[in-house]
Structure 1
Amino acid sequence: MTLPISYDDIDAARERLRPFFDASPVRHYPQLDELVGYDIRVLVKHENHLPTGSFKVRNGTASVTALSPEQAAQGVIAATTGNHGLGLAWAGAARGVGVTICVPTGNNPEKNAGIRALGATLIEVGERYDETVAACRAIAEQEQRTIVHSTNHLPVIAGAGTMSDQYLTQAPELDALVIALGGGSQAVGALTVANARKASLAVYAVQSQGAPAQHNAWHDGEARAGVPAHTFAEGIATGSTYAMTYPALRTGLRDFVLASEAMIAQSVRDLWRITHNLPEGAGAAGLAGLRLLAPQLAGKTVGLVMCGGNLDAERAAHILLGGMPHFPSGTDEGQAIGGRGPSHRLPSSS
């Protein structure tokens, strides 16, 4: 298996993160066992309890704390539409590093407000995401800031790997992890941890049917770029494969499934009802994937990750009342600087 980082990288990131926030909890909910069936014991790791409500704060903090003194003095910059920007802004504030976040015009106002509240400079630029990315590059060059890509950045992947490392310490009985996959930092981190600490730990991935680029690339071996993504689960609205994660995903994942938008929305409702934690779409996708994978995981202890809880109020109300949410249009933030994989192929129009 080709891995972009080593377990030593995750270990170093864990030590850098230690002063900033505590471990997120792992909890067992017997009603989830009943819901999934097949004598599966389901555990949930609540990354939604971390600062900014998402695992992305691990990625941002690992990246900011890896800067040299010179880089820290110049600050960092990222193009993003969501949790990556929040995590980086929080980490910058915690370490006293200047952060600039570029978002498309009309970006989620709740996330914009959260980024600004953390002291980051927020620049709304570009009607389309590629225009935002171009502006981010130009500002980075002009101001000599370090670009922190949401996937293709080694400290980001190491930071995400601290989640699975911590999970396995908290629940050494884990047989499998089912991870919602966007850029792939969480899944590649999990594969790195399994390779070093528990070879029998199987890692599975799930993506939305409305954003199948990574899934389809995994199954047919053809990298993707720029495939339209139509899902309310913004955290996995990925239209590309990524150079630093795709090879490891291709060789390391045990299986990769697609869940419908309706299944993900129902998983939001189920997790709210059973855990009284409100996940965003990506945070609920693991449960949707587990229900598809359940026959092959019968009798196992399976870990899910509530990777984020930043569901906006209007969409949350709509979903909890039984509706299907609208999804944002445009491209995913994984297509920011350096986000494209080594080759590109668009799916046929059929």
Structure 2
Amino acid sequence: MLTLDKIYHASFTLKKYIRPTDLIHAPKICPDSEIYLKTENLQITGSFKVRGACYKISQLTEEERSKGVIACSAGNHAQGVAMAAAINNIKALICLPDGAPISKVEATKSYGAEVCLVEGGYDEAYAKALELQAERGYTFIHPFDDDDVIAGQGTIGLELLESLPDMDAVIVPIGGGGLISGIAYVIKSLKPDVKVYGVQASGAPSMKTSLKEKKVCCLSHANTIADGIAVKQPGEITFDLCSKYVDEIVTVTEDEISTAILTLIEQQKLIAEGAGAVAVAAAMFGKLPIKGKKVVCLISGGNIDVTILSRIIKRGLLTSGRSCSLNIELIDKPGQLKGVSQIIADCGGNVISIHHERSNEGSDINGCFLRIELETRNYEHILEIRKALTEGGFKLQD
């Protein structure tokens, strides 16, 4: 059973395993609110998950340790279990979805754990882990639906109250619900006036759906760039705790997550994975009533594959109006490209690439098309450039 005593004990136990992460003021994230970032992306293993994994493994009996441990994960819990097992000289087998970022797979292996890649997502990995546990007798370390794991994650709540005792609210990512359950239990037990808000990806709203239906629900699919919270079904324990202690759960879109990742890189010099950025996305896009409030956004992890990061940055640039593409219909005669370039330059746009092609069947025989990729300041800047080109006599294709 989860108690404050257990969470305080977890805090004491974890001092030798983890680092206390900083709380950083981020005034530009949401100018109407006083935003702080709890940087669990800078935690050992790059995620908060190490807290719950280490505390759970520290509480195992000698018999359980001797059997070895098994876990399933989208990547971050895997690294936490692998590291904790290595510290305690315990054999570890981790079931990972075959689509997990390569960086998370390799990091898990680097701690000495055996990795089993499972076709599908988290839920398929979970089923495989239970199958192997039954076959081989391993001790199962659940990623979220376990009192000891939740207590480990709840130590973040103690740190928040110590670092920012006058905070008005905390915004927390939700996958299976272990993180927010621990934090919400601590905060509502010690300072019940503080609001606890949860955020899920719109493509995987399992806890939000469950609370709405007042029972644990299983989604037919979970599809999001925030792989760390792509969970089809929350836990029974976490569902009960969220029902009692969480004030509201909202969702954010893929574009909003991408924009939040980009904003954290540019403004705060912080790398967050998709799941780690959803709290910031919720604050940035006005999903919660936090105007004028002192609010903590929890950046839960920073383990993002660099190839995915490059795609997300590109998407974030498009979403925020920092880049755009223009399709311009021209008459194929000298000076047309010069005229277009001059207008863009006068407006302060920066051309990244140009593709020129002759017109196709059905268009003017003297026509051609120009596709230009631009760096821009914002959506207003894009409209300014489009207006200047139209006024200059050029025809833009939508």
**TM-score category of the 2 structures, normalised to the smaller one:** 0.7 to 0.9
Whole-angstrom CA distance in 2 between matches of 1:88 and 1:125: 18
Report if aligned partners of 1:205, 1:289 keep a CA contact under 8 Å in 2: no
Larger radius of gyration: 2
Whole-angstrom CA distance in 2 between matches of 1:157 and 1:63: 9
Q: CA deviation at 1:209?
A: 1.1
**What whole-Å deviation, never above 9, does each CA across 1:257-278 have from its counterpart, x for those lacking one?**
1111111110001111111011
**What whole-Å deviation, never above 9, does each CA across 1:15-34 have from its counterpart, x for those lacking one?**
111111220111112222xx
Identify the match of residue 108 of structure 2 among 109, 115, 128. 115
**What whole-Å deviation, never above 9, does each CA across 1:147-186 have from its counterpart, x for those lacking one?**
0111112111111101111121111121110111111111
Identify the match of residue 124 of structure 1 among 89, 98, 117. 117
Whole-angstrom CA distance in 1 between matches of 2:122 and 2:202: 22
Whole-angstrom CA distance in 1 between matches of 2:291 and 2:315: 29
Name stretches of at least 5 consecutive residues in structure 2 with no aligned partner.
319-398
For residue 281 of structure 1, what is the aligned residue in structure 2?
274
1:298 aligns with 2:291: yes
For residue 12 of structure 1, what is the aligned residue in structure 2?
9
For residue 258 of structure 2, what is the aligned residue in structure 1?
265
1:37 aligns with 2:34: no
Aligned-partner residue type, residue 37 of structure 1:
P
TM-score if structure 1 supplies the norm length?
A: 0.85
**What whole-Å deviation, never above 9, does each CA across 1:62-95 have from its counterpart, x for those lacking one?**
1111111221122210122311111110111122
> Matched residue of 2:28: which SS?
helix
For residue 234 of structure 2, what is the aligned residue in structure 1?
241
Q: CA deviation at 1:134?
A: 4.1
For residue 145 of structure 1, what is the aligned residue in structure 2?
138
For residue 333 of structure 1, what is the aligned residue in structure 2?
none
Report if aligned partners of 2:94, 2:114 keep a CA contact under 8 Å in 1: yes
> Matched residue of 1:20: which SS?
coil
Report if aligned partners of 1:37, 1:294 keep a CA contact under 8 Å in 2: no
> Matched residue of 2:171: which SS?
strand
1:52 aligns with 2:49: no
For residue 179 of structure 2, what is the aligned residue in structure 1?
186
1:103 aligns with 2:96: yes
Identify the match of residue 67 of structure 1 among 60, 66, 69. 60
Going from structure 1 to structure 2, the CA distance change for 1:221 and 1:171 (only over 3 Å counts) comes to: same
Report if aligned partners of 2:98, 2:120 keep a CA contact under 8 Å in 1: yes
Report if aligned partners of 2:219, 2:233 keep a CA contact under 8 Å in 1: yes
Q: CA deviation at 1:124?
A: 2.6
For residue 330 of structure 2, what is the aligned residue in structure 1?
none
> Matched residue of 1:52: which SS?
helix
Going from structure 1 to structure 2, the CA distance change for 1:95 and 1:283 (only over 3 Å counts) comes to: same
How many residue pairs match? The answer is 318
Report if aligned partners of 1:158, 1:189 keep a CA contact under 8 Å in 2: yes
For residue 25 of structure 1, what is the aligned residue in structure 2?
22
Whole-angstrom CA distance in 1 between matches of 2:217 and 2:283: 25
**What whole-Å deviation, never above 9, does each CA across 1:209-262 have from its counterpart, x for those lacking one?**
111221122233242114311100011112113101112212321111111111
Whole-angstrom CA distance in 1 between matches of 2:280 and 2:111: 31
Whole-angstrom CA distance in 2 between matches of 1:314 and 1:183: 26
For residue 165 of structure 1, what is the aligned residue in structure 2?
158
For residue 367 of structure 2, what is the aligned residue in structure 1?
none
Give the stretch that moved more between structures: 298-307 or 314-323: 314-323
Report if aligned partners of 1:262, 1:324 keep a CA contact under 8 Å in 2: no
Q: CA deviation at 1:130?
A: 5.6
Higher relative contact order (CA 8 A, sep 6+): 1
- In terms of fraction of residues, the more strand-rich structure is 2
1:321 aligns with 2:314: yes
Whole-angstrom CA distance in 2 between matches of 1:123 and 1:26: 36
Aligned-partner residue type, residue 250 of structure 1:
S
> Matched residue of 2:244: which SS?
helix
> Matched residue of 1:244: which SS?
helix
**What whole-Å deviation, never above 9, does each CA across 1:39-62 have from its counterpart, x for those lacking one?**
x11010110111110000111111
Name stretches of at least 5 consecutive residues in structure 1 with no aligned partner.
326-350
Whole-angstrom CA distance in 2 between matches of 1:28 and 1:104: 35
For residue 300 of structure 2, what is the aligned residue in structure 1?
307
1:156 aligns with 2:142: no
Going from structure 1 to structure 2, the CA distance change for 1:136 and 1:11 (only over 3 Å counts) comes to: same
Going from structure 1 to structure 2, the CA distance change for 1:280 and 1:245 (only over 3 Å counts) comes to: same
> Matched residue of 1:30: which SS?
coil
RMSD: 2.0
Whole-angstrom CA distance in 1 between matches of 2:14 and 2:306: 30
Aligned-partner residue type, residue 211 of structure 2:
W
